[in-house]
Amino acid sequence: MGEFSNTERDGHVFTVTINRPEVMNALHPPANRELAEAFDTFESDDELWVAIITGAGDRAFSAGNDLKHQASGGDMGGQPSSGFAGLTSRFDCTKPVIAAVNGVAMGGGFEIALACDIIIASEQAVFALPEPRVGLAALAGGLQRLPRMIPLKQAMGMILTGRRVPAQEGKELGFVTDVVPHADLMKAARGWAELILECAPLSVRASKQTVMGSIDVASLRESMENRNYPAIGDMFRSEDFVEGPRAFAEKRPPNWKGK
């Protein structure tokens, strides 16, 4: 248990909980550094295959940047290079990360969720990039990621107004993967993690790295012919690359080793 967050290991799943409910899980630089260390651990541990990030309490996933800390003259230096919550600039992470959004996801909180691969939202979750309403801008990836995930005009409708979008509308727009009853949120997020764990971990990482790398390539042919994805080589050289077809032929569940 950290000062601003909690972490939990359960088999191959690593759950990170932002633990500042008294400020709606808003983040200041010390909290960001602590979360960055947690996700450094996730990336470096070969036995951790999927991460889930959520917020403590029932009100907020994260209200974003701790504006009160900033306004009171608190030190805003020392932000981690991996970005807000140690996630928004972690571009080289090939392991899947699930956001379990339990309430308000505003500004940087929404940007944390957008940096994840899957967003599972409580039916009471609300999303927004309200920075223009306080003279700021969503510079932790929100202005870049949201227009890549949903139609441009819909993204601009959110960005230029700072309006709040409920979970169900977020699913309809396309940035939310699934909406579930609030009481079932963590069970549902864990269910999605278990579905991922049914797949070979190195195949999952190769798939994520290829998808994220291909997004920046305009030409379909170039994106398909590009083989500069190290995770694909790791997959081809792995024991799991042999185990998968063997298990299929033997009509049994595969025994993934992640190597």
3-state SS, residue 97: strand
State residue 186's pLDDT score. 98
Percentage of residues of the chain with pLDDT beyond 90 = 90
Give the containing element (helix H, strand E) for 100: strand 97-101
State residue 75's pLDDT score. 65
> What's this model's pTM, rounded to 2 decimal places?
0.96
The predicted model gives 226-246 an average pLDDT of 94
Torsion sign (Cα): 74, 127, 149, 236? positive
State residue 226's pLDDT score. 78
State residue 68's pLDDT score. 79
pLDDT at 89 over 80: yes
If phi > 0 it is left, if psi is from -120 to 50 it is alpha, else beta; for residue 67 that is alpha
Strands 165-166 and 104-106: unpaired
Which CATH class for the 5-197 domain? alpha beta
pLDDT at 8 over 80: yes
Condensed to tens digits (0 to 9), the pLDDT of residues 54-63 reads 999 999 999 9
The predicted model gives 150-166 an average pLDDT of 98
- Tally of CA atoms within 13 A in the half-sphere of 35 that contains its CB: 35
Domain-by-domain residue ranges, the chain? 5-197, 201-249
The predicted model gives 105-131 an average pLDDT of 98
Active site residues: 111, 131
Interatomic CA distance for residues 83 and 64, integer angstroms = 12
Condensed to tens digits (0 to 9), the pLDDT of residues 159-210 reads 999 999 999 999 999 999 999 999 999 999 999 999 999 999 999 999 999 9
Interatomic CA distance for residues 259 and 254, integer angstroms = 13
Structure tokens at 116: 């994840």
The predicted model gives 207-230 an average pLDDT of 90
Condensed to tens digits (0 to 9), the pLDDT of residues 160-172 reads 999 999 999 999 9
Mean pLDDT for the chain overall = 95
In the block, residue with structure tokens 């029932």 = 58
- Asked whether the beta carbons of 229 and 213 are under 8 A apart, the reply is yes
